[in-house]
Amino acid sequence: MFSRIINKINSNKNMIAGFMICSMILSFGMTGCSFQKQNVVQVPELLEPVGANQSFRPTEKMQVGSIKLLYGKVVPDSYPVFSITDVSIKKYEISLGDYVEEGDVIAYCDTSEYDEQIDFLTKTINSLYEERSMKENLSYEVAHKLTLWRQACEDAGDPDGVNKYTTDINVELENRRFELELIDTKISNAINARNEAQNKKDKLTFTAPHSGYITYMADMVKSNIVPHGMNIAVISDSENVHVEIPNTNIHDFKFKDFKSTYTYVGGKMVNLEEMAYTPSEVSFAETNLLFPPIRYKAVPGMKLGDTVAIYYVKDDIKVTLAVANDSINYDNDEVYVYVKNSATDELVKKNITIGLRDENYTEVTSGLEEGEEVFYESTSPLPVKYEKHTVERGTYNLTFDTKNIEKTMTHYDIYTSNYNGEYNAPVHDLGQELKNGDVLYTIKSITGSAELEEARVNLSNLSNGHSQRIDELNAQQNALQEELSAAQNCPAPIATETDAMAMEEYLYHSERVQCDLNALDIQRQYEETSYADQYSQLSDIYNKKCDEIGDNGLITIYVDEDGYAGSFPIRKDSLVYKGTFITAVGHKSSDILRVVMNESTDDKFIEPANIGQKVQFKIEDGATFTGTCIGINGNADKHYLFTRDGKQYVTTSAPHNGMTQTSFFVKLDEGDTASITNAVASYNGTTMNDVITIPYKCVKEEIEQLTNEKKHYVWKISGNTLIKQYVNVFEVYASANGTALILSGLKEGDIIVVE
């Protein structure tokens, strides 16, 4: 019977082709039907189906269900270093690729303003403590002297004198309490002011929030300003990873309502759990209209840098008895297929009931048994000459290469003006090699000589005033020494010739003079200490003024360390002020290279290496070097959303000036950057392990005429028959070295053909 059908096909090809076109037109809208009842167009029932090939497939158990695919990357957990305000970086303490511990200093901003405040307040506090100590000690001497007077009055029998000196002692004690309390208030205010300045300074000192490797640093080539919300650096913890889907965000994500999400690890299906952001974080992102990418928790078996195929199930999936969609016919409420009678080769129409349906296959809930041969229409020519290929699991590597390799600056010395003045043009070109001690640039000071003279006069007046005060103290000391000597040699008054007042003057006289001498020593010590502090401050001011005036008003700035000249954004003869960014001198690493990829095109997708991936460099003489990707250029479209110290933040990393977003950095395992000349860098942009791979030439392509959708298939050997097997192919890129990655439709051990 079947042979008669084939003869009929060969003799009536034109009629068959026309009939097939009519059948497809009449069937429009039917292919989307998936369950028991369908809204279909009436079609005359075929007594016998026709096709270009003897096309049959066995009814098999397979996975059925509507699935969508996205691709993720296994990336390290990252921790941004950032500021909530615009800041000017003064110095980096780290370089790209460095390992840092939590709490290590990453960068400093220009803190000179706060440094000066803190220094001034510290000296003020010390001075107040010295003043407090001096006044307290002086008061003790005064009180002690008054106590001696009171004792003398008591010994001389002068009750009025006793009362007077008792009152004086109480007044002195109250004055002491008031003065010390006043000084303590000043000290407290100064300490609070210093703490406030220190807190502001601390906010301009950025430390590592987590241990890990520096994988990004803000570019300092043209400016040292990092705007708020932009990352100063990013620290990556390669020991803790997660799956991130590039070019997605939590606001536009269209797969939130899918029933389940899974991937394959080691050939086994594994459910993925979303690494969800907290409600507070999501609310913060919504408020700022800045949204991070979708991410999932990593599962055992995933490695840093791997690509992960993520399957999204809309309703349900299951492994069940199924047939391909192109075998199913619909006629009103009737759903049927044609099967081959193995004994007679005749086609038999069988009604079936169906369940789940996806793009390629439909579940059969009744009407067919496993192994039954089901007819399908196919105009695809059967392979004639071919070899058998057994489907196996392996590693899929999508390799990219580029010749755009260059040495890179891994850190910079940042030069900002310490003066107000007129900027003179630099004598260096961008990228010019500089040596320690070379002239970097000059500034013509606008500080007048009057300010210098004022600073000199202040120093002179301080010294003169100090000398005069010391002379006064010396004179007082000499007088007191004479008084002490006289008191010690003075005979006691004769009782019959004296009165109470004379006795009071005589009693404890030398002890009272000693109190005055002690007080004088306290004042002298305070004067010397106070003078030294004030002289140091005024001397610093004077020296700075001398420095600002320079040599005939021209200040010369020298290179601190060998490096390469950055750009000089300030124009010649422009006025600059203290803290203005002048330039940055870069330092090239001996073991880190920058690799710049060509841009992707419509027919060729290019991606950078991932952090942790290996990169190979092959030079012209055939020698090879290997390295590891340690950092990627910033991407302004990628946002980091996180909570730190109970507050929510969202940041991003700005791309470096002059770099594409496919730039990345590689640290050599051995050797140095001088060895890498005229080389080609190769790396695996996409890596999937333990997956189904087949020769790419096995994969065929067709366009479904009714939906205009592209579909892929292979020729599979089932027994002694070739069957058309639909497959899902990883199509981010056509193939990896002639290898196709099969995401579904084939299993390990299947036999396919290679033409």
* Eight-class DSSP state of 324: E
User: What is the pLDDT, as a whole number, of residue 598?
Assistant: 66
Q: Tell me the pLDDT of the chain averaged across its residues.
A: 85
Q: Above 50 in pLDDT, residue 12?
A: no
Q: Which of 288-302, 335-349, 496-510, 641-655 has the lowest mean pLDDT?
A: 496-510
pLDDT band at 101 (very low <50, low <70, confident <90, very high): very high
Strand 751-754 to strand 614-618: parallel, antiparallel, or no bridges (unpaired)?
unpaired
Task: Among 183-197, 662-676, 711-725, name the most confident range.
Answer: 183-197
What average pLDDT does this structure show over 248-273?
A: 89
Buried b (16+ CB within 10 A) or exposed e, 640-672: bbbeeeeebbbbbbbbbeebebbbbbbbbeeee
Q: Above 60 in pLDDT, residue 582?
A: yes
For every residue of 591-651, DSSP letters joined together read EEEEEEPPPPBTTB---PPPTT-EEEEE-TTS-EEEEEEEEE---TT-EEEEEETTEEEEE
- Rounded distance between C-alpha atoms, residue 595 and residue 194, angstroms: 47
- Rounded distance between C-alpha atoms, residue 715 and residue 694, angstroms: 12
What average pLDDT does this structure show over 73-97?
A: 93
> Looking at per-residue confidence, does 643 or 378 come out higher?
643
Q: Which two tokens stand for residue 550?
A: 């320079």
Torsion of CA 551, 556, 561, 566, to 10 degrees: 180
User: What is the pLDDT, as a whole number, of residue 601?
Assistant: 53
User: What is the pLDDT, as a whole number, of residue 447?
Assistant: 67
> Looking at per-residue confidence, does 714 or 6 come out higher?
714
Q: Above 50 in pLDDT, residue 41?
A: no
> Looking at per-residue confidence, does 169 or 25 come out higher?
169
User: What is the pLDDT, as a whole number, of residue 660?
Assistant: 55
pLDDT in tens, 495-537: 555 577 888 888 999 999 999 999 999 999 999 999 998 999 8
In terms of phi and psi (left: phi > 0; alpha: psi -120 to 50; beta: otherwise), the region of 283 is: alpha
Q: Which two tokens stand for residue 540?
A: 């610093």
User: What is the pLDDT, as a whole number, of residue 337?
Assistant: 94
User: What is the pLDDT, as a whole number, of residue 268?
Assistant: 86
Q: Above 50 in pLDDT, residue 43?
A: no
Alpha helices in 230-369 (DSSP H): 279-288
pLDDT in tens, 122-181: 999 999 999 999 999 999 999 999 999 999 999 988 999 999 999 999 999 999 999 999
Q: Which of 55-69, 240-254, 572-586, 721-735 has the lowest mean pLDDT?
A: 721-735
Q: Which two tokens stand for residue 754?
A: 């290679």
Packing angle of the helix pair 2-11, 13-26 (nearest 10 deg): 100
CA 715 to chain CA centroid, Å, is 48
Q: What percent of the chain has pLDDT over 70?
A: 88
Q: Are 76 and 243 in contact (CB under 8 A)?
A: no
Q: How many residues does the chain have?
A: 755
pLDDT in tens, 268-316: 889 999 999 999 999 999 999 999 999 999 999 998 988 898 989 887 8
State how far the alpha carbon of 605 is from the alpha carbons of 403, 465, 473, 600, 732, in Å: 17, 80, 88, 5, 7
User: What is the pLDDT, as a whole number, of residue 691?
Assistant: 85
Nearest CA to 164 out of 358, 706, 156, 93 is that of: 156
User: What is the pLDDT, as a whole number, of residue 661?
Assistant: 56
pLDDT band at 358 (very low <50, low <70, confident <90, very high): confident
| Residue 348 bridge partners (DSSP) | 339
Q: How many CB atoms lie within 10 A of CB 613?
A: 21
Q: Above 90 in pLDDT, residue 208?
A: yes
Q: Are 665 and 592 in contact (CB under 8 A)?
A: yes
Q: Above 70 in pLDDT, residue 709?
A: yes
CA-based diameter of the chain, in Å? Answer: 167
CA 14 to chain CA centroid, Å, is 66
Q: Above 70 in pLDDT, residue 374?
A: yes
pLDDT in tens, 533-552: 899 989 988 888 787 776 67
Nearest CA to 259 out of 248, 247, 272 is that of: 272
User: What is the pLDDT, as a whole number, of residue 345?
Assistant: 76
User: What is the pLDDT, as a whole number, of residue 44?
Assistant: 39
> Looking at per-residue confidence, does 270 or 36 come out higher?
270
Q: How many CB atoms lie within 10 A of CB 264?
A: 20
Quick one: three-class SS letters along 430-451?
CCCEECCCCEEEEEEECCCHHH
Q: Above 50 in pLDDT, residue 701?
A: yes
User: What is the pLDDT, as a whole number, of residue 527?
Assistant: 94
Packing angle of the helix pair 159-202, 112-156 (nearest 10 deg): 170
Q: Are 649 and 642 in contact (CB under 8 A)?
A: yes
- Rounded distance between C-alpha atoms, residue 309 and residue 70, angstroms: 6
What average pLDDT does this structure show over 723-748?
A: 79
Q: Above 60 in pLDDT, residue 603?
A: no
User: What is the pLDDT, as a whole number, of residue 242?
Assistant: 97
Q: Are 236 and 217 in contact (CB under 8 A)?
A: no
Tokens 């003066």: give the residue: 419
User: What is the pLDDT, as a whole number, of residue 523?
Assistant: 94
- Rounded distance between C-alpha atoms, residue 155 and residue 166, angstroms: 14
Tokens 């999936």: give the residue: 317
Q: Above 80 in pLDDT, residue 644?
A: yes
Q: Count of alpha carbons within 13 Å of 607, Cβ hemisphere only?
A: 20
- Rounded distance between C-alpha atoms, residue 256 and residue 242, angstroms: 18
What average pLDDT does this structure show over 87-110?
A: 93
Q: Are 8 and 50 in contact (CB under 8 A)?
A: yes
Q: Above 90 in pLDDT, residue 42?
A: no
Q: Above 70 in pLDDT, residue 10?
A: no
pLDDT band at 334 (very low <50, low <70, confident <90, very high): very high
